[in-house]
Amino acid sequence: MPLSARAALGILTATHLLAQPPVPPAGTDAFQPVFSPEGRHLAFVSAAPSLTTNDTHGRVMDLFLLELATGQVSLVSATPDGADGGSGPSYAPQFAGGGEWLVFESLATNLVAAADANGGEDLFARHLASGQTRLLSARPDGSAAGNGA
């Protein structure tokens, strides 16, 4: 569902610019906006279930990416196959690598194929060109998430 420039500005005016805890502020549908370094994308958090067709798990906070030139919105905090959103809230987006990566925190356990059963917040990075998500807060051997948040 493409967003118009006016709708994108509405997201910005109804948001908080500092990272918030994983509870949506009352009365807002989108928050924590972050522009990519080159200004082509806007990452934001929303619990709205109708921004993309593959966000079917209800009002769970997910991370989205808005391509400003086209208005195309994509789900960043998605399962490895892209069929659905994360099983828990995702938040605190930050661009890295010159805008090539989007780093975020999440309580979801299904964003990567590796076991993520620590029950705590983890740090993830999504490569925007390939759509692949990596677990950054993994054990040194990469076999699973660390043993705590």
Tell me the per-residue pLDDT of 84-98, one tens digit each, with 9 for 90 and over: 888 999 999 999 999
Q: Does residue 31 or residue 142 have the better pLDDT?
A: 31
Task: Please give the backbone phi and psi of residue 111, each rounded to the nearest 5 degrees, phi first.
Answer: -90, -20
Tokens of 32: 């924590």
Which residue bears the tokens 């370094």? 37
Which residue bears the tokens 């989205």? 64
Maximum separation of any 2 CA atoms in the chain, in Å: 46
pLDDT of residue 13: 40
**H-run or E-run covering 62:** strand 62-67
- Please state the pTM of the whole predicted model: 0.76
Where would I find the H helices in the chain?
A: 5-13
